[in-house]
Amino acid sequence: MHEFAVARRRMVREQIAAAGITDPRVLKAMQEVPRHLFVPKLLRHRAQQPSALPIGYGQTISKPFTVGLMTSLLELRGHEKVLEVGTGSGYQGAILAHLAQEVVSVERIAPLADRARDTLQKLGLHNITVLAHDGTAGYADHAPFDAIMVTACAPHLPPHLVSQLKEGGYLLIPVTTGEDQILYRYLRQGQEVIVEQSVSCRFVPLLSGVKIEDPALANQGMSEQEPLSETAGPDDKVPSEGEHLA
Give catalytic residues, as residue numbers. Answer: 62
Burial label for 146, CB within 10 Å (0-12, 13-18, 19+), is: buried
Q: Nearest Cα to 205, choosing from 55, 34, 85, 52?
A: 85
Residues 6+ apart with CB under 8 A from 203: 151, 152, 153, 174, 181, 183, 231, 232, 233
The long-range contacts involving 185-193, CB below 8 angstroms and separated by at least 24 positions, are 185/73, 186/157, 186/162, 188/162, 193/157, 193/162, 193/165
